[in-house]
Amino acid sequence: MKAAVAVVKWLSRTLAIVLLVIIGSTILVRFAPGYLSDAREMDSRYADAARAELSTEAARSNSLLAMLFSEIGGWTRGDAGVSRQYGVPVAELIMPRLAVTGGLILRAIVLSWTLALCVSLISSAGRNPSLVWQTPATLLLAVPTAAMATICLLADNGGPVLVMALLLAARDFKFLHRTLRKAWLDPHLLQARAQGVRTRRLLVAHILPAIPSQLSALATLSIVTALSALVPVEVIFNVPGLGHLAWNAAMNRDLPVLLAVTMIMALAVTLAGMASDRPAEWKNA
282 within some domain: no
Q: The pTM is what?
A: 0.74
Q: In whole angstroms, what is the distance from residue 128 CA to residue 133 CA?
A: 11
The reply to whether 57 and 130 lie within a common domain is: no
Q: What is the pLDDT of residue 37?
A: 62
Q: Give the pLDDT mean for 237-248.
A: 90
Backbone phi, psi, residue 103, to 5°: -65, -40
Would 285 be classed as within a structural domain? Answer: no
Q: What is the pLDDT of residues 124-165, one digit of tens each?
A: 766 665 666 677 777 888 888 888 888 888 888 878 999 999
Residues 170 and 195 in one domain: yes
Count of alpha carbons within 13 angstroms of residue 221, beta-carbon side: 18
Residue 219's closest CA among 88, 142, 73, 113?
113
Q: H helices within 185-240, ranges in order?
A: 187-194, 199-202, 212-228, 230-236
86 and 110 share one domain: no
Q: In the chain, how many domains are there?
A: 2
pLDDT exceeding 70 applies to what percent of the chain?
Answer: 65
The verdict on 68 and 186 lying in the same domain is no
- Residue at a domain's end among 58, 90, 122: 90
Judge contact between 84 and 256, C-beta under 8 A. Answer: yes
Q: What is the pLDDT of residue 178?
A: 79
CATH number of 229's domain: 1.10.3720.10
Band of pLDDT at residue 100, cut at 50, 70 and 90: very high
Say yes or no: 138 and 261 in one domain.
yes
The domain in which residue 85 lies consists of 2-90
Tens-digit pLDDT profile for residues 189-224: 666 766 776 767 766 666 667 666 677 777 888 888
Q: Average per-residue pLDDT in the chain?
A: 76
